[in-house]
Amino acid sequence: MNDEVIQLGGKKQRTFMDKVKEILPEGGNLNLCLTCGACSSGCPATGLDGMDPRKFLRMAALGLDEEIAKSDWPWMCTMCQRCIYVCPMQIDIPQLVYNARALRPREERPKGILGSCDMALRNASTSAMGTAPDDFVFVVEDVLEEYREAQPEFADMQAPIDKQGAEFFLNQNSREPVTEPDELVPLWKILHLAGADWTYGSEGWAGENYCMFLADNDSWEHVTKTTVNQANKLRVKTFLNTE
């Protein structure tokens, strides 16, 4: 009987898995995988691009960094965290996916997400449509005036911007002020009928953060700080994320 130990490879370089385990609390529990498949059974992205969460995790554990970087599957994952919910070991696969996205050079990441992130960085609105603060204020005031005149029962409805000391600071989907301004109104009506004390900010009003989905940490932080700084400047009590 041959007792010789079989070596599967020489000394590896620092791998993607090593980096991620350093970043995540308690290493993200990534070594606790039982390969039970519960994550894959509940994942809406299972089967896309021939991949699923269990296979993705095993590839990372085996050091297949190049294959992970080439795969489009991390960009199909919504990071909804359903896999964590069903995992008996509570493994943080979405965080692994997020860091996998950063393996690609920024300019080679999906153009739609990349373009929306870059648009959000253009001005203080942080709008993925590139809408400037003045344009947002104009649209809100114009739509509000129109509906006050058309529907007398809402003649005293408000859509405040930069109101000091309001209870709620609201954000807003970037697309609606540009392409579907009438879609702004239903939320205003609800807030009006509820008697809510709220405000938009002329800066940091955009609700989505494509820089987060792009796995661009610096840009993600910039967009988030813009909103937080505006909310603090207005001294509102609660940030209400409509997205």
What ranges do the domains of the chain cover? 16-104, 112-240
- 197 touches 167 (CB < 8 A): yes
Q: How high is the pLDDT of residue 92? A: 85
SS3 readout for 106-165: HHHCCHHHHHHHHHHCCCCCCCCCCCCHHHHHHHHHHHHHHHHHHCHHHCCCCCCECCCC
Distance (Å, whole) CA 68 – CA 60:
7
Question: How much is the average pLDDT of 121-142?
Answer: 96
Give the sign of the dihedral formed by CA 122, CA 127, CA 131, CA 135: negative
pLDDT(152) > 90:
yes
pTM over 0.85: no
Task: Express each pLDDT in 18-64 by its tens digit.
Answer: 777 776 666 567 777 888 999 999 899 999 999 999 999 888 888 88
Task: Express each pLDDT in 213-234 by its tens digit.
Answer: 999 999 999 999 999 999 999 9
Q: How high is the pLDDT of residue 145? A: 97
pLDDT(8) > 60:
no
pLDDT(91) > 90:
no
Task: Express each pLDDT in 161-190 by its tens digit.
Answer: 999 999 999 999 999 999 999 999 999 999
Contacting residues for 216 by C-beta, under 8 A, at least 6 apart: 106, 117
Q: How high is the pLDDT of residue 101? A: 94
Indicate the average pLDDT of the chain. Answer: 89
